[in-house]
Amino acid sequence: MSGVYARRIGVVAASAAFAATTGLLTAPTAQAAMPTPVSASTARTYLSELTVSAEGSSDGYSRDKFPHWITQSGACNTREVVLERDGTNVEQNSSCAAVSGSWYSEYDGATWTAASDLDIDHMVPLAEAWRSGASSWTTAQRQAYANDLTRPQLIAVTDNVNQAKGDKDPAKWMPSRTAYKCTYARAWVHVKHYYDLTVDSAEKSALQSILNGC
C-alpha cells in the first residue's frame, strides 16, 4: 500500500479529530506484534479447505471501496494503532501520530526510527481480496477487512518493500527474509480462510510448498 497515501489519510484523519489538543497521548492497548497466525499444520488444513478458482477480474476495483484508515480509539486511526503496536518505545503526539520509536520490518530485517519509513501492509492485499471474492462484499464488510486488527492482516513494514509487493500473491512475491516466510504463509492462509476468499492454483502450490517446509 502506498506509504504516501497511507500517511496522508492518517494525518488528515487524526489532525481533524484532535487539532486543538496538545501533549502526548497514551497509546491504545498494544500487543507488540501482529496477531499470531494459525500453526503450520492448521494452515495446511485451512489451505486444503479453500476454494481453488482462477483469479477474478480487477474490473470495478478501487481502494476507495475498502475505506481505511478508520478511527479506532480517540484520535487514533488504524494505521497509528498498528504503528504503536508493532514498534518499540513509540511516542505519539496529540494527533496520535508516532513522533518517535523504533520499528523492525519483518519482511526485510530493516530497522527504522521514523514512522514515515513504514507502510502498513495488508497481508492479503485489497486488490487481491477483490479478485478473490471481496468484489461481492458490502462496503461495510470491505471496511472491516481493510482495518482488521484481530486477524494477522496488518503489519508495519519498510515502505518500498511493501510497494514492491503491491497486490502480488505468494506465487509472485514473498518476503526476502527467509525466517519470516513460514509466518507469512500461515498468516496469508489464515486471512483467506477466515474471509472465505479463493486461491488460484499457482498461489495454492506456492503456499503448500512453503507450509510443507515449516
Please state the pTM of the whole predicted model. 0.85
Where residue 196 falls (left for φ over 0; alpha for ψ -120 to 50; beta otherwise) is left
Q: What is the structure's pLDDT at 26? A: 36
pLDDT attached to residue 11: 34
Q: Which three cell numbers stand for residue 95?
A: 494527533
DSSP per residue, 166-211: TT--TTT---S-GGGHHHHHHHHHHHHHHTT--B-HHHHHHHHHHH
214 burial (CB, 10 Å; 0-12 / 13-18 / 19+) is: middle
- What confidence score (pLDDT) does residue 28 get? 36
Write the pLDDT tens digit of every residue in 83-140.
999 999 999 999 999 999 999 999 999 999 999 999 999 999 999 999 999 999 999 9
Dist. CA 171–CA 77, nearest whole Å: 32
Three-state DSSP state, 117? helix
Amino acid at 121: D
Digit-by-digit pLDDT tens for the chain (214 residues) are 444 333 333 333 333 333 333 333 333 333 468 999 999 999 999 999 999 999 999 999 999 999 999 999 999 999 999 999 999 999 999 999 999 999 999 999 999 999 999 999 999 999 999 999 999 999 999 999 999 999 999 999 999 999 999 999 999 999 999 999 999 999 999 999 999 999 999 999 999 999 999 9
Cis, bond preceding 103 (omega within 30 deg of 0): no
